[in-house]
Amino acid sequence: MTALAGENIAFIGLGLMGRPMALNLEKAGAKLTVTTRNPETLNMFEDLGIETAPTPADAAANADIVIICVADTDAVENVLMGEDGVLDGLEEDTIVIDMGTTGVDATRRFADAIEDAGGEWLDAPVSGGTTGAQNGTLSIMVGGEADIFQRVERIFRVMGNRVTHVGQAGAGQIAKAANQMIVGITIAAVAESFSMAEEAGVDIASLREALTGGFADSTILQQHGKRMIERNFEPGGKARTQRKDLYQALEFSESDLGLELPMTRLTMELFDELIDMGGGDLDHSALIKVYEED
């Protein structure tokens, strides 16, 4: 597969999501240089014959495109602006793409810094979990200049099957905030309805089957509902990450827009309970445990 032949890409961050995303780019023929904090992961990529770099600056130095997929806003800032960060190795006209879930205000600040250094910026957070990352079926929401999006769209389409340009810098992160609000609130709704039904003596596997195909059906019901039934909480998306994303949505909405988001706040508080119970590193579908405790 040579769909990306000729593309020179640095990929920074090889965690649950970044690792399969990077591997899909390599399989598609991209010339890849990777770096991450975990030396074992770097060794794994070296064993596959993929070039590695010791720092983000080294990875970015000869790349045309730099993709960042790290845990949170602070991690993105460190990758970009910390010691041996991307800005230390950035060449003019390099396109920097943040594919993590990052605060909106910080994203706009990062975009300005990259553009001031002569580069181009896109924020392109994803939805679809580790399954989507492995299968190349992520949904990708892109903010930034339309012509820069068009330049790299074929790269996105190796990693995702629904790729949408939603506006200027920061718009991708606003779309992701909306996504995470819907995901978190729907997980809570499924967990709460399952808890009610089970308490009333209804088999929740049968309930899920009955709801599938009706107005209550959703990817959350199908995938996360199944996890709840099977007690499979191996993380596709961690509960603490879901909580972080809900907090970012609240922070942006309240401070920048003056909007209250009561359902989002309540859902975040439920995830706080799960984290306090020791479930922060479980899949976010483990929220059902909060109802079982009650």
Structure confidence by residue, pLDDT tens digits, 46-55: 999 999 999 9
Structure tokens at 261: 């988001």
Give the residue among 82, 87, 57, 76 at the shortest CA–CA distance from 124: 76
Q: Which domain holds residue 287?
A: 175-293
Q: Are residues 46 and 131 located together in one domain of the fold?
A: yes
Domain count, the chain: 2
Whole-model pTM: value is 0.95
CA 57/CA 49 separation, integer angstroms: 21
Contacts 24+ apart (CB under 8 A), 271-274: 271/184, 271/239, 271/240, 271/242, 271/243, 271/246, 272/243, 274/239
Boundary of a domain, candidates 169, 202, 223: 169
Question: Residue 158's domain is classified under what CATH number?
Answer: 3.40.50.720
pLDDT of residue 1: 58
Q: Is residue 29 pLDDT above 80, yes or no?
A: yes
Of 27, 31, 176, 226, which one is the catalytic site residue?
176
Q: What angle do CA 3, 97, 253 make, to 5 degrees?
A: 135
**pLDDT value of residue 122:** 99
Residue type, 121: W
132 with 225, same domain?
no
Tokens linked to 187: 């997980």
Across all residues in the chain, what is the average pLDDT? Answer: 97
Q: Evaluate whether residue 223 is within a structural domain.
A: yes
CATH of the domain at 208: 1.10.1040.10
- pLDDT at residue 2 greater than cutoff 80: no
Mean pLDDT in residue range 73-92: 97
Query: Is residue 1 in some structural domain?
Result: no
241: in domain: yes
| Residues 195 and 272 both lie in one domain | yes
Q: What is the pLDDT of residues 246-277, one digit of tens each?
A: 999 999 999 999 999 999 999 999 999 999 99
In a domain? residue 3: no
176 annotated active-site: yes
Which of 121, 145, 169 marks a domain boundary?
A: 169
Q: Is the pLDDT of residue 294 over 70?
A: no
